[in-house]
Amino acid sequence: MEIDKLIGKILQGYQPACVVITANELKIFDELKQPITAKQVAENRQLDPEACQRLLNALTSLEIVTKENNNYHLPHNSKEFLVTGGTHSLQQWIQLSADLYTVWGQLRTFIKSGVLIKSIMDMLGGDPHKMRSFTDAMHDKALKATWMIAREIPIGDAKNMLDVGGGPGTYALEWCKLNTYLKATVFDIPPVLEVAKNYIEKYQLEERVSIKPGDFQKDDLGNSQYDLILMANILHMYDADMGNALVSKAVKALQPGGRIVLHGFCTDEDQTGPLDDTLFSLNIGMLTEGGRAHPVHEKINWLKGAGISDIRYFRVEAMPTGVITGIKA
């Protein structure tokens, strides 16, 4: 692509995002379960009819909405992702992306100072509702990737899983659904585990998935008591020294012959790709002290140093992110 066209496309990148965010905030997707005119949507949501029609036309151009005979509706395979109560609803994730707009607006300040702009906890502001929304967003975002990872990685006859920093328990729940002999413990801070309890009950896995409150930075994870340990989307919140220490702590809790799985953003060796991961490295840099998308080789070295062998790396484009897994000698 010619450089002028490339720059032009990049500079317009915020526009489609704003279209989706606005439609989500105004609950327009909920109006599109069945074919409906722009005028009816505007009346139902108390919007300007002409402006509403422009937004619906833009959503149609983005191939999110279908327009037929001046009626707009969501394609059948989109409803579960965009409407309230959908089985794979992305509403909270879309709202989280909107909340990050103010942070990205201060990118220049971050580049000049290297200092975080606003911590994740500051964004949540100690508000239980925001914590719930954030945790729900993490669950919604991870669902498809979790489904793929659980089927890609063989866990043999593993029976006891630890999900470190497991959030809503998305990974533990999916693995237990797939492997009926597996039991799992979700380890995280108490406010997050309140959300995890809801999901455990929703999936009716109370007898096989338990919660354990704690701080994985400070608390011990155990000693050779698990045969499957997952660390998903947490290592990028810390610098390399802390990341290495957390991996070593997790491996200590793993039985010989047990499997560890690291899932999250990770760049290639020269840190210039993949694009999603390099952009995320900027994002997490503005939200944490020292956090980054660590290079794949760096994470592999952490695992090797902790006694992990048979290491495998693969990408999960559903998120898109990287997965590194191996066996404790």
> For 122-167, what is each residue's pLDDT tens digit?
877 677 887 888 888 888 888 889 999 999 999 999 999 999 999 9
Instruction: Fill in the amino acid letter for 241.
Output: D
Cβ neighbours for 271, distance < 8 A, ≥ 6 positions apart:
278, 281, 295
31 neighbors 41 (Cβ within 8 angstroms): yes
Strands (E), 74-225: 160-164, 183-188, 209-213
Q: What is the pLDDT of residue 144?
A: 86
Whole-number Å distance between alpha carbons of 136 and 273: 28
**CATH number for the 142-269+288-328 domain, one of 2.40.160.10, 3.40.50.1980, 3.40.50.150, 3.40.1230.10?**
3.40.50.150
Q: CA–CA separation, 174 vs 170, rounded Å?
A: 6
- Any residues with CB less than 8 A from the CB of 129 and at least 6 apart, and which? none
Can you give the pLDDT at residue 124? Answer: 73
pLDDT at 26 over 90: yes
* Helix (H/G/I), strand (E/B), else coil: 120: helix
Tens of pLDDT along 87-123? 888 898 899 899 899 999 999 999 999 999 998 878 7
Question: Is the CB of residue 235 less than 8 Å from the CB of residue 249?
Answer: no
Handedness of CA 48, 54, 59, 60 (dihedral sign): positive
CA 141 – CA 40 distance, rounded (Å): 31
Any idea what DSSP says for residue 36?
B
Q: What is the DSSP string of 40-61?
A: HHHHHHT--HHHHHHHHHHHHH
Mean pLDDT of 299-327: 96
Residue 39 has pLDDT above 70, yes or no: yes
CATH topology of domain 3-85: Arc Repressor Mutant, subunit A (1.10.10)
Nearest to 203 by CA among 221, 180, 231: 180
The answer to whether the predicted template modeling score (pTM) of the entire model surpasses 0.75 is yes
237 — phi, psi (to 5°)? Answer: -85, -5
Strands (E) in the chain, as ranges, are 66-68, 71-73, 160-164, 183-188, 209-213, 226-232, 254-264, 308-316, 321-328
Residue 67 and residue 60 in contact, taking contact as beta carbons nearer than 8 Å: yes
**Residue 44 pLDDT class (50, 70, 90 cuts):** very high
CA separation for the pair 181, 282 (Å, rounded): 41
Is the peptide bond prior to 213 cis by the omega test (within 30 degrees of 0)? Answer: no
pLDDT digits (tens, 9 = 90+) for 53-82: 999 999 999 999 999 999 999 999 899 999
- Three-state DSSP class for 246? helix
Predicted local distance difference test score (pLDDT) of residue 31: 98
| Residue 176 near residue 208 (C-beta atoms within 8 A) | yes
Q: Residue 57 burial (CB < 10 Å; 0-12/13-18/19+)?
A: middle
Per-residue pLDDT of 172-212, as tens digits, reads 999 999 999 999 999 999 999 999 999 999 999 999 999 99
CATH code 3.40.50.150 region(s) in the chain: 142-269+288-328
Q: Where in the chain is the domain with CATH 1.10.10.10?
A: 3-85
Q: What pLDDT is stored for residue 125 in this prediction? A: 66
Q: How confident is the model at residue 317 (pLDDT cuts 50, 70, 90)?
A: confident
pLDDT in tens, 255-306: 999 999 999 999 999 999 999 999 999 999 999 999 999 999 999 999 999 9
